Chains A and B, each alone.
Chain A
């Protein structure tokens, strides 16, 4: 009984030892996927924001759609603090180190965007909505100015 017990412990320890390596390399593998995921989330944001822009500047007959885009933006804003885990600072990303150095500021900027979007979602008057779309547009800069690389330093600049 004792002999089997020690064997079990030894096997468990060996597995844990091996597993500890694979966790590290799994994160390294996944960081590229994590970065791509959050870039798709950013695309989703710009999809909604771009649609709101087309609506507002061209006076499109989609007053009823504004709340859909606004709710989408408000919900997506809640994901932002979660999709920048440690280990995804480097690689094909334009995220700046301050996202991890100043997480409270980052969270606050994301929440601000969410608040402006929620305000828009609650509006029923089209004129007011157009003005609020402009305000919402300003909140993009709340993150981008401090936490995103400028174009001349983007990872997208190829040889």
Chain B
């Protein structure tokens, strides 16, 4: 007999039974996403400044920032929850697919200037919480600016081939021989703060050169010089103490009394300084454990009379 046609007492029992089923705890992955935890992950990722046109005072996360690459100029997208011009129509599954596999909501390949190559290793819980946080950011109406890539680099279908060559997404696997702190640092650095994405030179196809991972490049993101952050004493940060590193990640102040320039200053200001001291220490512990790579990073000489 249909529950609504039951006599009131039986109906009440039926309702209680249904509610009890609904309230029963499910598997861990079904836990409510936590936007506050997501806000922390957002900060640990560097505060997503790539998606804010800081130079021109653009609204937060609304895109428009120009990123010159060897393949042309890319414009970062609007990732606010605006329905028409942002991610308002995206589902959580769309977001996770973008972060893990570099595929947009329309099924299109995304250019790896968006470092899904790093984010792919984030845990499902972190991704869900991050998405929950992004949904709380003020929506801004700002249409995405079309990229200006030289053919054939703008042909998205070719990215399928690029991914076949260069992208094998794997979840983060903790190393049981290392401490919990080291593993936390490895996870944060490789997949959230994504340090190597800026601090590694790239090959002709724009993929990271694995033998020089973290060893710096004179022409990194937006053409900026990114130093060698492996513990090589002459060409890297081998002379930095653990405290030098954690203080730097919090304040952007280097042991020589100078401050970090441009992009690194941004990700510290908007991101890493908001992390817990324990997480910054974990990243430093991880970095001090890396094999030193001797690689002197130097840009070509400035031409006479150049501005």
Residues in A lying within 8 Å of B, measured CB to CB: 45-51, 53-54, 56-58, 90, 96-97, 134, 137-138, 140-141, 144-145, 148-155, 157-159
Contact = CB atoms under 8 A, between A and B. Distances in A.
Secondary structure call for the B interface:
loop
Interface stretch (B142-150, B219-227, B286-294): B219-227
Nearest to A44: B257
Nearest to A158: B301
Interface of B: 218-219, 223-225, 243-244, 246-247, 250-253, 255-259, 261-262, 265, 269, 298-302, 305-307
Contacts of A137: 251-253, 259
Contacts of A56: 247
B258 A46 contact: yes
A159 B301 contact: yes
A153 B262 CA distance: 12
Contacts of B255: 50, 53-54
Contacts of B223: 152
6 contacts: A53-B257, A57-B243, A137-B259, A138-B252, A151-B225, A152-B225
Contacts of B300: 157
Secondary structure call for the A interface:
helix
A90 B305 CA distance: 8
B70 to A, nearest CB: 14
A20 to B, nearest CB: 26
A151 B299 contact: yes
A36 B121 CA distance: 49
Contacts of B250: 134
B274 to A, nearest CB: 13
B301 A49 contact: no
A27 B259 CA distance: 32
B247 A50 contact: no
Given A137-B252, A157-B298, A158-B301, A45 B257 contact: yes
B38 to A, nearest CB: 26
Given A46-B256, A152-B223, 13 more contacts: A46-B258, A51-B257, A53-B251, A53-B255, A53-B257, A96-B307, A137-B251, A144-B261, A150-B225, A151-B261, A152-B299, A155-B302, A157-B301
Name the 5 nearest CB pairs between A and B, nearest first: A50-B257, A46-B257, A57-B247, A140-B259, A152-B225
A53 B302 contact: no
A157 B299 contact: yes
A149 B307 CA distance: 9
A105 B168 CA distance: 49
Nearest to A46: B257
A148 B223 CA distance: 16
A57 B257 CA distance: 12
A16 to B, nearest CB: 32
Contact of A145 (B251, B262, B305): B262
Contacts of B219: 152
